[in-house]
Amino acid sequence: MIMDIVEIQKILPHRYPFLFVDAIVEMERLKSIVGLKNVTVNEAYFQGHFPGAPVMPGVLIIESMAQTGGLLLLQEVPDREKKLLYFAAVDGARFRRPVVPGDQLRVEMKVISWRGDFCKLEGRATVNGQLAAEATLMCKMVDRVPAAQAEKSAK
């Protein structure tokens, strides 16, 4: 394991219940990363998606891909605590099999291009070697606005 949850939380701003990567097992700087998400029945979204037949929502699989890719990108940003990555687009998203409690989602992300504050990544999520989802993600790096400043500008 290259990064455990403690190391991940030093880089990503996400926290429970919206942190969807548990470990990083492979990484090649500026090129690719492989993360793991352990899917457990006590995840809050399973209460309503779907009672008696729990399935991880596809948008959360995409979010797991984004967070894994974000870990790779944020490694290269010296002032990352002052930055956020926002989705700009999701293209070609396909869901091939349900992800259910007990599964371990393996998320593989590859950098396609990175220019300035814009990045394009290609992702695949598998369970036991079977393709669960795939998508191309685009994100934009923005300055993080402190909460007090955000409240002030909203008024």
Q: Are 84 and 13 in contact (CB under 8 A)?
A: yes
Q: What contacts 152, CB < 8 A, 6 or more positions away?
A: none
pLDDT category of residue 3 using cuts at 50, 70 and 90: very high
pLDDT 10s digits, 64-103: 999 999 999 999 988 999 999 999 999 999 999 999 999 9
Average of per-residue pLDDT across 4-20 = 95
Looking at residue 145, its pLDDT comes to: 83
Would you tell me how many other CB atoms lie within 10 Å of the CB of residue 46? 19
The pTM assigned to this predicted structure is 0.92
Contact by Cβ (8 Å): 57, 105: no
Q: What average pLDDT does the segment 132-154 reach? A: 84
Tell me the two tokens of residue 132. Answer: 């669960």
Looking at residues 115-137, what average pLDDT do you find?
97
Catalytic status, residue 49: yes
Which residue in the list 49, 83, 124, 144 is annotated as catalytic? 49
Token digits for 148? Answer: 């007090």
Q: Which domains does the chain have, with CATH numbers?
A: 5-154 (3.10.129.10)
Question: What is the pLDDT confidence band of residue 148, given thresholds at 50, 70 and 90?
Answer: low
**In angstroms, what CA-CA distances link 78 with 11, 75, 82, 113, 124?**
11, 8, 9, 19, 28
Which of 109, 118, 117, 116 has the alpha carbon at shortest distance from 138?
Answer: 118
Q: Say whether pLDDT at 154 is over 90.
A: no
What does the mean pLDDT of the chain come to? 94
